[in-house]
Structure formats: C-alpha cells, structure tokens
A and B are shown apart, each in its own frame.
Chain A
Amino acid sequence: MAKGSIVAGLLAPHPPHLVYAENPEQNEPTSEGGWEQLRWGYERLRESLSEVDYDCLVILSPHWQTYVGTHFLGVENFKSLSVDPVFPNLFRFHYDMKIDVELAQAIHDEAQGQGMSVKMMENPDFRVDYGTITSCHMVRPQWDKPIVAISSNRGNAYYSVEVMQEMMLELGRVTRKAIEDSGKRCVLIASNSLSHRHFTTESAVPEDMSVEHITSHAMHLWDMRIIELLRAGKSQQVVNEMPEFVEQAIAEADGGALTWMLSAIGMPEQEAILHGYGTIIGTGNAIMEWPCHAWSDA
C-alpha cells in the first residue's frame, strides 16, 4: 500500500451566510446573493483543487463542541436537516454525507495510543453541526467525497490557549500519521474565521452588503497580520501568537482547528495561497490553501 498523504490544508470558514448566498437546492431559504468576495474566493479554491486527486476531506469544526475529549463521527452515512441555531433564517440545509469511518477510527486509535481523550460518535440520530456542513459544501458542493469529522475539544475553555494548542499540535501529528498509514490522500479543513466579533444586529435584508464591514480597526489589523504571516510561510509564528490573537480578536481559532491543521501539514514554511478575504456580520474570514501536493512533487 502506498503511503497516504495530505494533499492540501485549507482554512475554510463556515458562516452559513455563504451557503445562503449560493442558493443551493439543499438549503430552504433563498437569497439575492451577497458576500461575493468570499464566495469568489471559494470558487478559486475549488478551481485550485479541481486537478488534485484525493480520497476524502478531514475537517475540524468549532461548532461540534465537546468537553470530554475529542470525538469523531463514526457512522457511515448521515442524512438529515441542519438548522443553524443562531441564523435559522439563513440556514436550513438538507444534508446527505458519507463518513470515512475507517479513517476516523484510525485517527481515533492513533490519538488514543498517544494518551489523548477520544471517543467515536456512533449514534445514528446525531445531527452533524452546521460548521462542518458549510465548510464541506463550500469546498466540495458535489458531496461526492467521504468526510472525517472531528469535534472541537474545548481545551481553551477548560485550560488555556497554550494547553489547547499542545493538544491540537498532538492531534495534528496523529492525524498525519493515521493518514499516512491509511494510504489515502486527504484534504484537511480548518473550519474557522479569523477575528470573531459579530455585529449584534442584522439588517432586514441579511445580504445587504451596504452594511457589511469589519467590526473594528483592531480586528482588521489582526486579520491582516495573521493573513500576512501565513502568506509569508510563518505558520509557527501564527501558533506562537495564537494566545494574543485569541484574546484580542476573540478569534474562533480558539477551537483549535487552525493549529491542528498547521500541525498536521508539518507547520509549513511554504507560502499559503490567499483565495479570498471578506467580512460576515462583522467577523473576518479568509479562504487559504496550503498546496502540499505541489511541495511533495517538487
């Protein structure tokens, strides 16, 4: 069996507004568009991945929050309706997804072997979180690739950003090891925004772009700093600055997804590709790609 590999790492934010604006047939509400800068960014990302051969998506979403360790979806198929608890007016999505239970179990077992607290989620009634669904849909709307979905263990809530990062760095290492051992080619998705200060009001027409902007200059500065560091290949510095970023930008990276993904792809010094940046209800969102397949081929 050939050695498996991570062919790409992605930063792929999950605000449900993006799915809403796309008007896919699976989503009940309809829109007049909106957030085009980000949706065009996702278009560029999909184009970039279109020639890349891979077997599955591996995603960590901060909207499956677990406090008793890290959990993995462990049922082969989930088909249901996902309604966003915060924006139910925008996201009521009928999903039908396949899970790569074999790979999920392999990552689970590898993590358990390293002493991490992990659990397989094997209840067929479980509803998949909207963050996982949104990021996966925007990356691969065909829904033709199986998915490994990993929960966000709230290490930051229980301990500190530093402890959360230690856990996510280790989870990234075991994810990479399990993928390599599996022989599969995977795309890893860190599903989170950057600065995460929302507006607390919503316009009558949610897709009214005349009222969309970053919540504050400070949030903009943090977003640009993180993006520039990642574009310069300084992922370790991003991890180093994560405690300040989380505290000052109320960053959703506190859920561990970005640290996990960067660890899994080897804390790259290669430049990340920025496909798009935009704000959604005041939060900062970047779509970025680390084309690992190109590095290994070089």
Chain B
Amino acid sequence: MNDVIVKSLVVPAHPHPLLVPEQNAGWQRIRDAYDEARKVVEESGADIIIIYSTLWPSIIGHQIQALPEAEWTLVDADFHDVGSIPYHLKIDAEFAEAWNQANHARGLDSRTVAYHGFPIDVGSVVALKLLNPNNDIPAVICSSNVYADRAETSVLAKSCLDALAATGKKAVAVSVMSLSNRMFTEPINPIDDRIHSQKDDEWNQKILELLSQGRLEDVAQLSRTIHNQIRVQKVVTFKPMWWLSAMNDNRNDLNGDVLAYEAIHGAGAGVIILDPTSSGQGDIEYDEDDVEVFAGERSVLANMENPETVTKSNSDIVHASSAPKPVGAYPHARREGDLLYLSGIGPRHPKDNSIPGGPIKSPEGESLEYDIKAQTRAVVDNLEIILKEAGSSLDKVIDVTSFLVNMERDFQGYNEVWAETLGKVGPTRTTLAISALPTPIAVEMKVIAKA
C-alpha cells in the first residue's frame, strides 16, 4: 500500500449545493456533507489536492492545469440560472509539471496548460470552492481523455503516484462525478427533485454499499457495467473509478464513509470519503492486467464490451522507460507465455544516447577509435534495465545472439566482458559478424529470457 494518498473522495459536480443549497433539503445535505469533508481534508495533513475531472474531456492525451493563480467567473452551461461562480484557485504548477514528466516516462501523452481564462470545468471549481475555500492546500486538476481505456487511466494514476513519491508530497485524491448521471431533461421545481428512476437509485445504492465497505476496486471493476446501466453516454464514461482505484493500489480493504447521497436534478450525488487504513476486510481480487506503461493506440474503436482485448495486447509489450529509446517503431521486448523476447539492444546511454567507449565512426563516415569492452558492458547494462522493468533479471537470460561489426578486432574484448557478466549466468550464445548496425556502434545483443 502506498503512503502518499491520505484520503480519497468522491464528490458531486453540479453547482446547486454551492449556489442554491437552500432550495432543496437534499442539496443542503450535500452541502453539509461537503463541509464535513472539508474538515477531513483540512485535518488530513495533505500537501496537495488532486482532482481527476470528469467534466474536462481531452483528446490529445491528458492535460494538467498548471496556472498558479487561476481566476475567472464560471457559469454552468445548463444551470446558468442558479448564478455565477467567481473563483480564484491556487494551483501547484510544480507538481503539475512533475506529473506531466512522470506521464511521459510511462509512455503517456500529456501536457500542462497554463493560460489565463482557461475554462476550468464546473465540477472542479465546485469541489475546490467547497473543499478548499481558502486555498489552504494547493490543487492540481487533470483532464479525462475521452479515448482512454482502463490501462491508460491506471497508468495515469501510477505516474501521479510516481510524482508524489518524487516530490515527497501527501495527497487527497478527488473524483468529481455523478453516480447515475441521468438528469431530468426538463426544468423541475427544486422541491420535486429525486433520483431519475428506481433502477438508477438501486444501482447507486449498490455503489454506495461497496464504497462504504471500502471496496473501491470492486466498483472500478464494475465500472463498465455501471456505465452501461445508469450512465448517459456523455463524453466521459464512469472511468474516474479506474483512476481512483489505481491511486489506491487497486485495493478493496479501505475504510469507506458515505456522508450523503441525494439527487441533483435527477442525477445521483454522493459525498464519500475513503480512508487508506486497512479495514482488514476483503481481498484484492484484481483480475485485470496491471499495466505499468502505456503503449499503443487508444481503443476508441474497440468494442466497449471487450476492452480487455486491447489491454491484454498492450500488456504483452514492454517499453522500458529507463532504457535507451528504440531507433524504430518496435518495443524493447514482448512477453509470450513465460518468455521475454528482447529486440536487438545496443550500448547507447539511456539519458543522452551517447555511446560508451565512443562511436565507431564520425557523422562524416570517418572511422574512429572505440572501446569494445565499454560498449559491451553498456549493452549488458541496458539488457539489465529492460529485463528488470519487464519483471525479469539478467540471471534469467537463456539465449543470446550477439552481432559484431568487426569480429577480428573486437571478439576478444567482447568475450572478456561476456565472461565477467552473462558468462556467469550461462545462456547459450551465437556470435555473428555483420557489416553494419543502424547507429555507429560495434556490438548489439538479442536476448531471450524467462519472464
């Protein structure tokens, strides 16, 4: 269990509890619950409030709000008649950039946005106005990518945890969302508000029952079913539970507390607090691929009923974030059954693509002196990085094919390093002389290892 998420919250997005709570007793109870949640947040010791915004759709990866002082006056697109919301939010721009970089390291496309007048969505504004009215705790807000599947959304959470670990911050994670989101399609008298249908209410009750038992991951796994049953097919689906669950290590043993559940114009509004202290109940039952990095296209055209198909294929591919990038459109490795098949790996340094021991020729094609031992050691180092990120290790290598561009000159040095490293592991080996490699390197190895 991670120790950086000190509380997790699910809160509703509509402006009524903020602007007109007095018009409906249920809206007032949501407002009261928000006030109670605010105290919990204030006492949590959190350094930052992190919001995954379901009302901020994005299509180019994910966007992270990074304007330090975000000011505007917001009006809801539907409920403009309940009033305007002037806001001034304090955003942790430094953390936003750290999260952005962590996203890139895990293969996600993302960017920070820092523009005056950026239309921060109503849900994020309502949540921050009520949970953090004096900006005592800086916040960060992330969009919800309309094409993202569970794998991508989970990786987004993992990179957020990476950024928290790197910055040493404790966080409150907030999903701003309706439960059932079907609203009445005509104006109603506020005192007549109720959940749109009995079916929606029953599903909401089930969600609340699970969350009150701390079974967040179970709700996340039911996300697609819930979306099909009680969610209007708006731009963003019921994916915030994927994010929130991944922020909590996909756990089912949290402590849940439902502070309020009411209707807002027919939609299900809940204020729920999840404490990371283990309840001692429930097991993880995590039956989906636990993806560490994002690879490949989003599954917008995939069958919504079978998103696992895409997730599985992605999980077979290994992109090692700490290894030098491939020089073409191929992964570092693929997992097939119990085996890992690595692409040909050279000696380039992961950070700057420099070649330890020097390149074998200049950009103009002139031959240069180089150190084959240094290059061979760097190849082995890179192999170790990739194997480690794929969940394997150097001592699980079972077969190696080595390529040398100058067998006569380099075999001895290469062989000495081999003896010091892989030779101690004992894989089978084939060494070939070839005329050239794509970059000015002298040695490359292709490896098969146990996963």
Question: Do chains A and B interact in one complex?
Answer: yes
> What is A's interface to B at a CB cutoff of 8 Å?
64-69, 71, 80-83, 85-89, 92, 117, 119, 121-123, 125-127, 129, 151, 154, 157-158, 197-202, 250
B117 at the interface (CB under 8 A from A): yes
Minimum C-beta distance from B106 to chain A (A): 16
User: Is the pair A64, B77 in contact by a Cβ cutoff of 8 Å?
Assistant: yes
Smallest CB-CB separation from A218: which chain B residue?
Answer: B301
Rounded to whole Å, the gap between the CB of A107 and the closest CB of chain B is 18
Closest Cβ–Cβ distance, residue A212 to chain B (whole Å): 14
Contact (Cβ within 8 A) B115 A123: no
Beyond A68-B265, A201-B109, 16 additional pairs, beta carbon < 8 A: A68-B78, A68-B186, A69-B185, A80-B117, A85-B56, A86-B59, A88-B113, A89-B113, A123-B75, A125-B74, A157-B232, A158-B185, A158-B232, A197-B301, A200-B109, A200-B298
For residue A92, which residue of chain B has the nearest CB?
B115
Given known contacts A64-B77, A83-B117, A200-B297, A154 and B234 CB-to-CB distance under 8 angstroms? yes
| The residue from A87, A88, A123, A200 contacting B147, defined by CB atoms under 8 A apart | A200
- Chain B residues near A250: list those with CB within 8 A: 300
State how many angstroms separate the Cβ of A275 from the closest Cβ of chain B: 26
In the bound assembly, the distance between CA atoms of A74 and B118 in angstroms comes to 23
Q: Across the interface, do A125 and B73 meet the contact criterion of CB distance under 8 Å?
A: yes
CB nearest neighbor in B for A63: B77
| A117 to B188 Cα, complex, angstroms | 11
- Are A200 and B186 touching (Cβ within 8 A)? no
Whole-angstrom CA separation of A129 from B116 in the bound complex: 16
Check A66/B77 contact, CB under 8 A, given A81-B117, A117-B185: yes
B434 interface residue (CB < 8 Å to A): no
Question: In whole angstroms, how far apart are the Cα atoms of A201 and B298 in the complex?
Answer: 11
Closest to B113 in A: A88
- Chain B positions 204 through 240: 1 when the CB is less than 8 Å from some CB of chain A, otherwise 0: 0000000000000000000000000000111000000
Cβ A65 vs Cβ B77 within 8 A: yes
Query: In the docked arrangement, what's the CA distance between A87 and B260, Å?
Result: 36
Q: Which residue of B lies closest to A248 (CB)?
A: B301
Q: Is there contact, CB below 8 Å, between B234 and A157?
A: yes
In angstroms, Cα B300 to Cα A223, docked, is: 19
Which of B58, B115, B187 touches A83 (beta carbons < 8 Å)? B115
CB distance B185 to A157 under 8 Å?
no
Min distance, Cβ B104 to any Cβ of chain A, angstroms: 12
B75 touching A197, Cβ below 8 Å: no
A69 touching B59 in the complex, CB below 8 Å, given contacts A64-B77, A127-B119: no
Contacts of A125 in B (CB 8 A): 73-75, 84
Does residue B60 face the partner (Cβ distance < 8 Å to A)? yes
Contacts of B109 in A (CB 8 A): 200-201
B183 part of interface (Cβ distance < 8 Å) = yes
The distance in angstroms between the C-alpha atoms of A71 and B182, with both chains bound, is 18
Which residue of chain B has its CB nearest to the CB of A154? B234
A126 partner residues in chain B, CB cutoff 8 A: 75, 80
Taking the complex as formed, is B326 at the interface, i.e. its CB lies under 8 A from any CB of chain A?
Answer: no
Asked whether B118 lies within 8 Å of A83 as measured between CB atoms, the reply is: yes
Chain A, Cβ-Cβ closest to B58: A86
What residues on B are CB-neighbors of A151 within 8 Å? 77
B81 interface residue, CB < 8 Å from A? Answer: yes
Check A67 against B119 for contact (C-beta < 8 Å): no
- Chain B min CB distance to A285 (Å): 15
Whether B297 lies near A85 (C-beta < 8 A) is no
* Interface presence of B203 (CB below 8 A): no
Residue contact B183 to A67, C-beta cutoff 8 Å: yes
Most A-side CB within 10 Å, residue of B73, B83, B143, B182: B73
Cα distance A126–B76 in the bound complex, in angstroms: 8
Question: What distance in Å separates the Cβ of A21 from its nearest Cβ neighbour in chain B?
Answer: 17
Q: Hey, which chain B residues are within 8 Å of A88, CB to CB?
A: 63, 113, 115, 118
Chain B 155-185 near chain A by CB (<8 Å), digits 1 or 0: 0000000000000000000000000001111
Answer whether A121 and B61 are a contact pair too, CB < 8 Å, given A92-B115, A92-B117.
no
B41-82 interface with A by 8 A CB criterion: 56-61, 63, 73-75, 77-81
A157 touches which of B81, B233, B298 (Cβ 8 Å): B233
Q: List residues of chain B with CB within 8 A of the CB of A65.
A: 77
Shortest Cβ distance from residue B75 to the other chain A in the assembled complex, whole angstroms: 4
Residues of A contacting B187 in the complex (Cβ-Cβ under 8 angstroms): 68-69, 117, 119
CB closest chain-B residue, reference A120: B81
What's the Cα separation between A157 and B236 when bound, in Å?
Answer: 11
Residue among A68, A86, A157 making CB contact with B60, cutoff 8 Å? A86
**B61 in contact with A201 (CB, 8 Å):** yes
Are A200 and B59 in touch, CB under 8 angstroms? yes
Most buried by A among B56, B77, B116, B121: B77
Q: By the criterion CB–CB under 8 Å, are A67 and B185 in contact?
A: yes
Complex Cα gap A83–B145 (Å)? 18
Bound CA span A197–B300, Å: 9
| B103 smallest CB distance to A (angstroms) | 13
A67, A80, A122, A198 — most chain B CB neighbours (10 Å): A67
For the complex, give the distance between the alpha carbons of A209 and B169 in Å.
42
Residues on the B chain within 8 Å of A198, using CB? 59-60, 147
Of all chain A residues, which has the CB nearest B267? A67
Q: Which of B230-254 contact A (CB under 8 A)?
A: 232-234
CB contacts (< 8 Å) of B300 on chain A: these are 197, 250
Q: List 23 A-B contacts (CB under 8 A).
A: A64-B77, A65-B77, A67-B185, A67-B232, A68-B184, A68-B187, A68-B265, A69-B185, A83-B117, A83-B118, A117-B185, A117-B186, A123-B81, A123-B83, A126-B80, A151-B77, A157-B232, A157-B234, A158-B232, A200-B61, A200-B147, A200-B297, A200-B298
